[in-house]
């Protein structure tokens, strides 16, 4: 009897394992959804100063361009009704060039690669806990020697300030807590381990070429986040979040070097559906930072800086989209304001405010359910205030940078 029960259970289980995914495929979205997504992002800029604009060599002005091709493959599925699993691998190919007097250089290659796994549990009514782990594998080049070092460009124009860093591991735990069917509060806590890596060494005293390398170990990051999202009626969707981060000490060649001040971030998104074809979205975010701990020789170790050298960042963006069954198109504008911008590497002062306007058009074409193509063209204007306090005797003039950002992308899913 016992053998009979075992055979029965084994047989039913085996059959269910084969049949259930087929049944899902017939009546619901596929049990496993695979997605491949890539974009080709081309940036081109000209400026009255090379980048960074804080060196005497950058006074003659400059220009640059970058091609960034991120690509990712995702696999999402539900092994059973109580669990959802999501996997993602992402990397990018890049080519980057700056042509500025005394600061010209280019580089190309693969950036770092990230692996992410997310697991969500649905077995409890009223709370859906999840956990996620992201690994950053250092497949990119963090140490650009020779003139290649000048190919790093302004992250307010391009998407990344670097092409590689060290090994990262970022576990997150959290939960969605539905207040109603279309009203959710979320909470999460993340830790980001950031491993050491080599980067360019000190600036040569004669020119600007790097000499040697330095070993940089960025501080690890802890972040607590809470969010709220709701669909209100047929037309409104609102979303908001607040987070706070704090860091451990960054070391340089094994010595304490820097510790970022606590950071808080606020974000709100409001979406309005005018009708089935027209949608508008307004987004706003603010990030504030407390004072950093820095070296201040002859004091050993790091101490709180005398005044806050960080830049608070405000971003506002707005877009409207007209959508039909196969096409979507619409304009977008955004504004980023940094209330003070960055440290001068030569005079130990912070630089003035910087604002970035951008405007453009996005379009999407979906010729079939499995495939969608997208394009985006943006014109970008960056203005950094004049700073009479550095680069004596005349000070640093206003930095005017104009740029284009053009993106083509494709998504394929089963």
Partner 1 sequence: MRATLSVLLAAAALVAILPGAQAQLRCPEGRTSAGECVNPALAQVMRKSAIINAQPKISYTAPPLLPSEDGTYLLPRDHHEAANLYYYPPVIRSTTLRP
Q: Is 391 left (phi over 0), alpha (psi -120 to 50) or beta?
A: left
Stretch that binds partner 1, among 230-238, 323-331, 379-387, 390-398 (CB under 8 A): 230-238
What's the CA gap between 221 and 12, in Å, rounded?
48
**Rounded least distance, CB 182 to partner 1, Å:** 4
For residues 63 and 188, which CB has a smaller minimum distance to partner 1 in the complex? 188
Nearer to partner 1, 277 or 373 (CB): 373
Contact 329, 321 (CB under 8 A): yes
- Closest separation between CB of residue 408 and partner 1, Å? 11
Annotate 75-117 with DSSP letters as a single string: EEEEEETTEEEEEEEEEEEEEEEEEETT--EEEEEE--EEEEE
Ranges within 379-408 binding partner 1 (CB under 8 A): none
Indicate which single residue of 186, 279, 358, 387 sits in contact with partner 1 (rule: CB under 8 A): 186
Binding mask 342-371 for partner 1 (x = CB under 8 A): xx-x--x-----------------------
The most distant pair of C-alpha atoms in the chain lies apart, rounded to whole Å, by: 97
Q: Classify residue 14 by burial, with Cβ atoms within 10 Å: 0-12, 13-18, 19+.
A: exposed
Residues 108 to 137 in contact with partner 1, rule: CB under 8 A: 111-114, 116, 118, 120, 122, 124-126, 128, 130, 132, 134, 136
Entry field: residues in the chain: 414
Please identify which residue in 61, 77, 102, 178 interacts with partner 1, judged by CB under 8 A.
178
Min. distance of Cβ 49 from partner 1 in angstroms?
14
Provide, rounded to whole angstroms, the least separation between the CB of residue 346 and partner 1: 9
How is 167-229 classified by DSSP, letter by letter? -EEEEEEEEEEEEETTEEEEEEEEEEEE--EEEE-SBPSSSS-B-SEEEEEPPPEEEEEEEEE
Residues within window 192-211 making contact with partner 1, judged by CB under 8 A: 192, 194, 199-200, 202-203, 208, 210
Q: Is 336 in the site for partner 1 (CB under 8 A)?
A: yes
**Contact code string over 257-296 relative to partner 1, x by CB under 8 A:** xx-x--x-x-x-----------------x-x-x--x-xxx
Q: How far is the CB of 400 from partner 1 (least distance, A)?
A: 18
298 interacts with partner 1 by CB under 8 A: no
Rounded to an integer, what distance in angstroms lies between the CA atom of residue 153 and that of residue 206?
Answer: 23
Shortest Cβ distance from residue 32 to partner 1 (Å)? 14
User: CA-CA distance, 142 to 138, in Å (whole number)?
Assistant: 8
Stretch that binds partner 1, among 252-260, 323-331, 382-390, 394-402 (CB under 8 A): 252-260
157 is an interface residue for partner 1 by CB under 8 A: no
Binding mask 50-89 for partner 1 (x = CB under 8 A): --x--x--------------xxx-x---x--x--x---x-
Region label for 126, one of left (φ > 0), alpha (ψ between -120 and 50) or beta (otherwise): left
Q: Is residue 335 classed exposed, middle or buried when 0-12, 13-18 and 19+ CB atoms within 10 A define those classes?
A: middle
First-to-last C-alpha distance (Å) of the chain: 45
CB of 44 to partner 1, least distance (A): 19
Least distance between partner 1 and beta carbon 20 (Å): 5
- CA distances in angstroms from 273 to 21, 207, 268, 372, 403, listed in the order given: 35, 56, 17, 22, 32
The answer for residues whose C-beta is within 8 angstroms of residue 379's C-beta and 6 or more apart is 358, 359, 360, 402, 403, 404
CA 66 remoteness from chain centre: 17
CB of 342 to partner 1, least distance (A): 4
Nearer to partner 1, 59 or 88 (CB): 88
The 316-335 site mask, x for binding partner 1 (CB under 8 A), equals --------------------
The number of angstroms, rounded, from the C-alpha of 14 to the middle of its chain's C-alpha atoms is 43
């Amino acid at each position: 009897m016992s053998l009979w029960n075992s055979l029965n259970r084994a047989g039913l289980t085996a059959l269910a394992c084969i049949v259930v995914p087929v049944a899902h495929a017939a009546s619901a979205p596929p049990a496993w959804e695979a997605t491949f997504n890539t974009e080709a992002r081309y940036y081109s800029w000209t400026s009255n100063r090379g980048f960074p604009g804080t060196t005497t060599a950058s006074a003659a002005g400059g220009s640059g361009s970058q091609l960034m091709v991120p690509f990712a493959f995702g696999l999402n599925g539900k092994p059973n009704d109580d669990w959802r699993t999501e996997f993602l691998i992402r990397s990018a190919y890049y080519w980057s060039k700056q042509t500025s007097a005394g600061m010209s250089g280019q580089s190309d290659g693969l950036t770092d690669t990230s692996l992410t796994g997310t697991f969500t549990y649905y077995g409890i009514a009223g709370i859906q806990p999840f956990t996620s782990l992201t690994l950053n594998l250092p497949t990119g080049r963090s140490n650009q020697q020779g003139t290649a070092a000048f190919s790093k460009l302004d992250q307010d124009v391009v998407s990344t300030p670097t092409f590689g860093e060290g090994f990262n591991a970022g576990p997150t735990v959290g939960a969605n807590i539905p207040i109603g069917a279309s009203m959710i509060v979320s909470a999460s806590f993340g830790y980001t381990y950031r491993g050491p890596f080599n980067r360019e060494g000190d600036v040569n005293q004669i020119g600007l070429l790097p000499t040697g390398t330095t070993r940089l170990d960025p501080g690890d990051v802890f972040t607590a986040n809470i969010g709220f999202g709701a669909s209100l009626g047929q037309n409104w969707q609102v979303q908001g979040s607040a987070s706070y981060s704090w860091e451990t000490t960054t070391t340089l060649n094994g010595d304490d070097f820097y510790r970022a001040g606590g950071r808080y971030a606020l974000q709100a998104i409001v979406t309005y559906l005018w009708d089935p074809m027209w949608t508008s979205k307004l987004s706003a975010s603010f990030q504030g930072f407390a004072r950093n701990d820095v070296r201040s020789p002859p004091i050993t170790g790091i101490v709180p800086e005398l005044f806050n050298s960080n830049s608070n960042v405000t971003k506002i963006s707005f877009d409207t989209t007209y959508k039909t069954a196969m096409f979507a198109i619409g304009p977008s504008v955004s504004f980023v304001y940094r209330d003070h911008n960055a440290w001068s590497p030569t005079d130990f002062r912070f630089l003035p405010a910087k604002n970035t306007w951008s405007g453009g058009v996005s379009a999407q074409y979906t010729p079939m359910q499995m495939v969608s193509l997208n394009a985006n063209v943006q014109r970008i204007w960056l203005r950094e205030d004049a700073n009479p306090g550095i680069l004596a005797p005349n000070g640093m003039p206003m930095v005017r940078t104009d740029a284009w950002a053009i993106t083509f992308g494709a998504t394929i899913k089963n």
